[in-house]
Amino acid sequence: MPAAVAHAEPTAEEVREEIERLEEEFIELNATYNEAKETHEAAEEKLEEVLEEIGAAEEKVEEMGLDVRRLAGAAYSGTDFTSFNELVNSTGPENALAHQADLTYLAGQNDGQLARYIEELANLETLEASAVETEEEAAEALQDSEDATEEAEEAIAEQEELLSQLTAEEQEAATENVGGSGGGGESSGGGGGGASYNGPASGNARTALDFAYNQIGKPYVWGGTGPGGYDCSGLTQAAWGAAGVSLPRTTYDQVNAGQRVSWENMQPGDLLFFYPGGSGPDHVGMYAGDNVMVHASTSSRPIGTVTLSDYYRANFVTAVRP
């Protein structure tokens, strides 16, 4: 019998690298999901507006159609008010000239009405085509969001399977400072009970960080905007919202919602963006000072703080000051 081939068990470092890859994949899928969800909601709102416009246009076309049908009926009634006999049989030259002028005016009005009717029909056709296109866009965005959700669940399941093959010590080594909470010395509490921010921020930035730290320990929620849990951009949006600053929903839009600053010039409260994707950076957290970031990373761990290691520096895109 041939000898069985022995496969070496993955080391903690190999598992760590694979977990990093899976978490980047998860974060990218979350950004894709949020963008698709925003697109779907916008398409649904647009569709509702278009359908209302279609209803109004249909009523207008129906009303104008009645008038056009009346004009058509008059045209086929057999009486030609512009004929020579009609003009000759008038009571006098002045009356005939006035009659002709009236007919010319009415003819012009009818031509204008017919032109407006045709224009409204074309508008209705355009609106109906827009409704079909918007429905397709909404359906496609919904499918994209569902696909992203399914793929993200698979990535987390694969990560959990990898970790299950390691001892507790190896698991700790493999996940140390990878996307999750730990380090920094700024946070306290946990288990959903929140924490206190004691860093150097002031003003609106401090208000935003106070809010973010109060969410420490809450679960990461896929597509979450609170209050029970958040995803990465949901947390930063809510935190700065508590300070009276309105941020867009997705990382792709938040990266353009302020002044960009470099890694060396980051200040507490700045938004930190990581992992360049096709539409923009996929992940966002908030700088707390002292080389610490507070963020919602992935569904495998709760909201927390992390020390900005070389791993984050290597994947850094930009910082933004709202």
40 included as an active-site residue: no
For the chain, the first-to-last Cα distance in angstroms comes to 68
pLDDT in tens, 261-271: 999 999 999 99
User: What's the Rg (C-alpha) of the chain?
Assistant: 33
pLDDT in tens, 238-258: 999 999 999 999 999 999 999
pLDDT, residue 69, reads 61
Residue 259 has φ and ψ, to the nearest 5°, of -85, 125
Do residues 180 and 220 make contact, with C-beta atoms less than 8 angstroms apart?
A: no
pLDDT of residue 127 exceeding 90? no
Residue 130 has φ and ψ, to the nearest 5°, of -65, -40
Sequence-ordered strand ranges (E) for the chain = 259-261, 271-276, 281-289, 292-295, 304-307, 316-321
DSSP H or E segment with residue 77: none
- Which of these is catalytic: 7, 40, 99, 283? 283
pLDDT in tens, 178-231: 554 333 333 333 445 689 999 999 999 999 999 999 999 999 999 999 999 999
pLDDT, residue 202, reads 94
pLDDT, residue 7, reads 47
Q: Which two tokens stand for residue 162?
A: 């990898």
Residue 136 has, within 13 A of its CA and on its CB side, a CA count of 6
Q: For 23-38, what is the mean pLDDT?
A: 86
99 included as an active-site residue: no
pLDDT in tens, 53-67: 888 878 877 877 666
